[in-house]
Structure 1
Amino acid sequence: MFPFNVRVYGILRNENNEILITDERTQSVSFTKFPGGGLEYGEGLIDALKREFVEECDLKIEVVRHIYTTDFYEKSSFNNSQIISIYYEVQPLEELRIDLKHRPFDFDDTIIADKLEVFRLVDADKLQVNDLTFKTDKRAFEIFKNLINR
């Protein structure tokens, strides 16, 4: 039996037309993606996304609409599981309080940890598909851009 890994992510665009992304380093791999993470057993997608935003960003969110669900095979970069990712547009219910960086992968090199994570707000008109690492994030962002540019 091959395991599935269900992931849920939020695309947050603020009133200044900026999109929240995260730069992460784990297991010596660096990547840029949307905030979110893994579904825990017994948890629904929306609850998981809300939990992930509180854990990662200290931010309560509201889910606005579904954007995309993986429709192709994607193997995990970290193990032998198949990734299924679900993306939602989200809006903050409070002011963003996390430390925001302006440069990609602007980690504090004095911190020794298994996972490093920093956040950036990037102008939606300047964020490019290739700024994102994973194929599912790229596809979700293409769909999102088409929705907001209608």
Structure 2
Amino acid sequence: MSKKFFNVRVYGVLINTDNQVLISDEREYGIDFTKFPGGGLEYGEGLIEGLKREFIEECNTEVEVISHFYTTDFFVKSAFNDSQIISIYYLVRAVSDIRFTTKTALFDFDGEGDTLQSFRWVSLSELKEDEFTFPADQYVANLLLKTI
């Protein structure tokens, strides 16, 4: 019997002055997926601390939290293991210069390797929930469209 566990994830919804939201295209474990920027909480850190760390690691950009946006309130099984995903989403704003390259094409990765990532700005007027791979991100995209 495999051990079941909870996997706490924290994500940032970053909207720029052109009313575009930042999304992340990634490849990991041979799987391509699209999600909001962020990732797993490390043992010993708080949610906001983890989110800020993720943005520095992934985007080389410092963010501040504007407000809580959504926490998953339905069951989500991980696509990668037997864990139950609990995702917390925050609206964030950049407090340092944007220091990452963005692409326009889906999965337009630079280089090769087991773990790849690229970022895209997507206009809120063109955002679609099915653009995201995982159920929680799809739900958040839909919620974002309803509230903007």
Q: What TM-score, normalized by structure 1, do the two folds share?
A: 0.94
**1:41-65: per-residue Cα shift (whole Å, max 9, x none)?**
1110000000000000000001011
Q: Any unmatched runs of 5+ in structure 2?
A: none
Segments of 4+ moved more than 6 angstroms: none
Question: Which one-letter code corresponds to 1:50 in the other structure?
Answer: K
CA distance in 2, matches of 1:63, 1:24: 23
Q: Which amino acid in structure 2 is aligned with residue 118 of structure 1?
A: S
TM superposition shift of 1:132:
0.8
Q: Tell me if the contact between 1:66 and 1:88 (Cα under 8 Å) persists in the aligned partners.
A: yes
Task: Name the residue aligned to 1:7.
Answer: 9
Question: 5 Å matches for 1:19-34?
Answer: 19-34=21-36
The answer to whether residue 146 in structure 2 is matched with residue 146 in structure 1 is yes
Q: In structure 2, what is the Cα distance between the partners aligned to 1:126 and 1:112?
A: 30
What displacement does 1:112 show? 2.9
Which residue is 1:75 aligned to? Answer: 77
Percent identity over paired residues: 52
Match of 2:121 in 1: 121
Amino acid at match of 2:146: N
The aligned counterpart of 1:44 is 46
Q: How many residues are paired up?
A: 146
Query: Could you say what the CA RMSD is over the residues aligned between the two structures, in angstroms?
Result: 1.0
Q: 5+ unaligned residues in a row in structure 1: which ranges?
A: none
Alpha carbons 2:127, 2:141 under 8 Å: kept: no
TM-score (norm 2): 0.95
* SS at 1:51 equivalent: helix
